[in-house]
Amino acid sequence: MDKHTFITEQLVNRGITNPRVLEAFKKIPREEFISERFKENAYNDSALPIGHGQTISQPYTVAYMTQLLGPKEEDTILEIGTGSGYQSAILSKLVKKVYTIEIIEELSNRAREKFKKLGITNVECIKGSGEPGLPQYAPYDGIIVTAGAKQIPKALRKELKDGGRLVIPVGANDIKIMTRITKHGDTYQEEKFGKFTFVPLVG
């Protein structure tokens, strides 16, 4: 499948309607984030191995989470789980600044090089665990966790701005429920969406 058909069939026809999100998918070449032997599958809607037992997420999942995050031009976003860097690259076209944390050093380094190659200058790659969030640059307009959590790490909600959104797949077993927490003053609104599978959040 080519990128154009992919965007129509796998994203638009499945409810991804935010025009800015669709525009970002047009701009970012997914094949760049995939190893040589899987490149022909770049526009199939499937997760693919990226080494170290990790995967680049299914593009529909990336689009779904991005839409839930509701990124705005002036936003600063924190991503936990850089992986291939694809999700961050999509966000780079939608917001002002992206911080992305990855626990596996080689993946973090590879993503940093990829952004350089593609001329993406507003994503900063950090090596480490995202469980405590990234307090040094907090608060964030949005936090997106791209690994499956057993529960919501407590630190993350504290790093949201007022009106900020946290999008995270949560669940005790392998099937995770996509969850969005929105901070309104001192309260946190929780909304639950569809079921997804993810590689586990470590820690």
How far, CA to CA in Å, does 194 sit from each of 111, 120, 168?
A: 28, 31, 11
How far apart are alpha carbons 123 and 173 in whole angstroms? 32
Task: Tell me which of 118, 131, 132, 188 binds ligand SAH, using CB under 6 A.
Answer: 131
Residues touching ligand SAH, count (CB under 6 A): 24
Q: Which stretch binds ligand SAH (CB under 6 A): 17-25, 81-89, 162-170, 178-186?
A: 81-89
- Provide, rounded to whole angstroms, the least separation between the CB of residue 186 and ligand SAH: 27
Residue 53 contacts residue 60 (beta carbons within 8 Å): no
Type of residue numbered 21: V
Judged by beta carbon, residue 122 or residue 129, the one nearer ligand SAH is 129
Task: Tell me which of 44, 109, 122, 129 binds ligand SAH, using CB under 6 A.
Answer: 129
Judged by beta carbon, residue 181 or residue 201, the one nearer ligand SAH is 201
* Stretch 52-71 residues interacting with ligand SAH (CB under 6 A): 54-57
The distance of Cα 10 from the centroid of its chain, to the nearest Å, equals 18
The token pair at 11 is: 């994203």
Q: Which residues are catalytic?
A: 57
Judged by beta carbon, residue 106 or residue 162, the one nearer ligand SAH is 106
- List residues binding ligand SAH (CB under 6 A): 54-57, 80-81, 83-84, 86-87, 101-104, 107, 129-131, 146-147, 199, 201-203
